[in-house]
Amino acid sequence: MSILVDPSTRVICQGITGRQGTFHSERALSSGTPIVGGVRRGKGGATHLGVPVFDTVAQAMEETQANASVIFVPPANAAEAIIEAVDARIALVVCVTERIPVLDMVRVRAHMTGSRTILVGPNSPGIAVPGLGTLGIMPQGIFLPGTIGIVSRSSTLTYEAVDQTTRSGLGQSSCVGIGADPVGGISASQCLNLFMEDQQTKGIVLIGEVGGTAEEKAAEFLATVVNPKPVVAYIAGQTVPEGRRMGHAGTIIHYGMGTARSKIDALREVGVKVVFSPVEIGLAMAECLRQAGPDSPQGQDKS
C-alpha cells in the first residue's frame, strides 16, 4: 500500500484553469492520476482538460465524490482556498502554492483545529505514489514502484532521493514533500509514523533542511517507535552561513535546535543513518536494508 493516497483517491484541482494548474493537471492526467474535476470560481459548468469545472469545492465533491484536492491558487488567495477545502471536509489537501504569507498560514492552522482534513504543504511539490499517480508537481518518469518511503522538506532534493532509489532498484512506496515553510500542515514525524505503519514500506528516506525543528521532532518521534524501519537522512544547508534573519530570537526560540548539527546529532542518537551528501542516499539505504536482512522486512534486527 501507500500513504495518504490510495486506489480510492479521487482528486480535484483548485485553480485548474490557471497556467500552473493546467500544466500539472495535464501531466498528472496523462500519467493516470484520477483527477475527476477542477474548481475555479466563475467558471463552473465549463470543461477543462476533459474534466468538469465547478465554482466551489463543495459542489465538486458533491458531483464527483472527490476526496482529495491539489491547490494551485496564487499566494494571495491560497489561504482562502485551503480554508474552503477544509470547510468542505475533504480528506486530503495538497497545497503547491509557495510564498503564502506566514500569518495567513497561522489563520489556516487555527481554522483547522478539530478538522480531520490532512494538509500537505504549502510550498509542497506534492505526493507521488508510483503506479497510482502524482498530486502536485513532481516530475514524471523518475519513479519506480518499490519499498522506500520518502518524506522531504525540499522539493528538488526529493527528486534526487527518488532518482537514486530508482537507480538502485529499490523504488518508492510513496513520496511526500511537506514543504519547508515556517507554518505548514503535516509534519515530518506524522509522515514517518504513516510510513512505519505502511506494509509496503521497508525503509524511509528523510530529507531535512536547517531551520525549524521538524528533524529534531522527528528524532523524538523515532525514539518512541518499537522496531523502527531503517531511516536514512540528509540535512541540507550544513555549511550555509547563518543569515541570522531571525536575530537572537530565532536562535533562542529553539534553545539551540534548528542548526544542521543539532538535527544530525538528534537523528543519529536514535539510530538514523545520516549521510553528508545527497549522492549517498541510495547507497546508504541499500546498505541499511541489507543489514536489516531479508528475513526482517520491518528491520527488527537493526541495532
Partner 1 sequence: MYLFEYQAKALMREWGIPVLEGMVATSERRALDVARELGEGPWVVKAQIHAGGRAQGRVDSADDLSGVEFTDTVLDVGRTAGRMLGARLATPQTMGHGETVNAVYIEPEVKSLAQLFVAFLVDGESAEPVCLASVRGGTQVERDVFDHPHSLIRMKLGSGSEISPAVGLEIASQLGLRISVRDAFARLIQQLHALFMAYDLSLIEVNPLAIRENDTLVALDARLTVDDNALFRQPGMAALASRTDVSQAEELAARYGFNFIQLDGDIGTFSSGAGLAMATLDALAHLDGRPANFLDVPPVLEVSRVKEAFLLVLSNPELRCLLVNVFGAGIMRCDTIADGLLLAHLEQPVKVPLVMRLAGTNAPLAVSRLERSGLSIQFVSDLESAAKTAVEHAHRPALTPKPQSITDRLSSWFSRTRTGSGP
Kindly list the catalytic residues.
Answer: 248
Q: Nearer Cβ to partner 1, position 60 or 180?
A: 180
Task: Encode burial over 47-81: b for 16+ CB neighbours within 10 A, e otherwise.
Answer: ebbebbbbebbbbbbeebebbbbbbbbeeebbbeb
Q: Quick one: which of 205, 259, 257, 192 has its CA closest to 234?
A: 205
**Residues of span 75-114 touching partner 1 by CB under 8 A:** 75-76, 98-107, 109-110
Q: What is the DSSP pairing of strand 35-39 with strand 11-14?
A: parallel
Q: Nearer Cβ to partner 1, position 195 or 234?
A: 234
Please say whether the beta carbons of 9 and 34 come within 8 A: yes
Cell numbers 476526496 correspond to 67
In the set 44, 145, 237, 271, which binds partner 1 (CB under 8 A)?
237
Q: Nearer Cβ to partner 1, position 110 or 226?
A: 110
Separation between Cα atoms, residue 116 and residue 60, nearest integer Å: 19
Q: How many residues bind partner 1 (CB under 8 A)?
A: 67
DSSP symbols for 211-241: SSSHHHHHHHHHHT-SSPPPEEEEEETSSSP
Which residues lie closer than 8 Å to 255 by C-beta, 6 or more apart? none
In the set 68, 71, 142, 191, which binds partner 1 (CB under 8 A)?
142
The verdict on 226 binding partner 1 (CB under 8 A) reads no
In the set 31, 251, 291, 296, which binds partner 1 (CB under 8 A)?
251
**Residues of span 170-209 touching partner 1 by CB under 8 A:** 180, 182-184, 207, 209
Task: Give the interface with partner 1 as residue ranges (CB under 8 A).
Answer: 19-20, 23-24, 75-76, 98-107, 109-110, 125, 137-139, 142, 152-160, 163, 180, 182-184, 207, 209-210, 212-213, 217, 234, 236-241, 243-253, 255-256, 276-279
